[in-house]
Amino acid sequence: MTDEGKEIATLAGGCFWCIEAVYDDLKGVESVESGYMGGKTANPSYEEICSGETGHAEVVQLTFDPKRVSFKEILEVFFVIHDPTTLNRQGNDVGTQYRSAIFHHSAEQKAAAEQVIAKLGAAKIYEGPIVTEVVPASKFYVAEDYHQEYFRRNPAQSYCAFVVRPKVAKFRKHFLEKLKK
């Protein structure tokens, strides 16, 4: 919880460009930063992350107003916009930096994440088991400036057009009532 009653959520679900673009449009989310978490190297660069040697995941860190959007609602979106059943992979992006993870900032977030995962698992929504890690948040490193708001600034770039845009469209289709105006 921040001083203003806001909360922080940190999620890894493949390339941070995709995840950031979705959460930028979610009501109650006040800011989204792309970055790195969960590794052993201090102040890692994107190139170091891509090597897979640092142990970091590409993440987004959200600041949100829990009076407008709950952590569980944030997770509902998370599990629609990425594949939580593939270990260290999202589509053609392969490596531990692309793993599915929820980095919890409180016992309440940990419990909520475990409940959502158990509910989805029991409902057998996915063909395989959910492999999303639920781990304590560690030091967050903000990604380089050129990664921030990447989709918004580069919508015609091929990765954005063929990977990011379909995820954003899927989010908008499933969560129309939760879009910012």
Dist. CA 100–CA 92, nearest whole Å: 14
Q: What angle do CA 157, 11, 181 make, to 5 degrees?
A: 65
- For residue 19 the two structure tokens come to 């995840």
The verdict on whether 18 is a catalytic residue reads no
Which member of 15, 18, 50, 160 is catalytic? 15
Contact (Cβ atoms closer than 8 angstroms) between residue 126 and residue 120: yes
Sign of CA dihedral 50, 23, 91, 89: positive
- How many CA atoms lie within 13 Å of 132's alpha carbon, on the beta-carbon side? 28
Residues noted as catalytic: 15
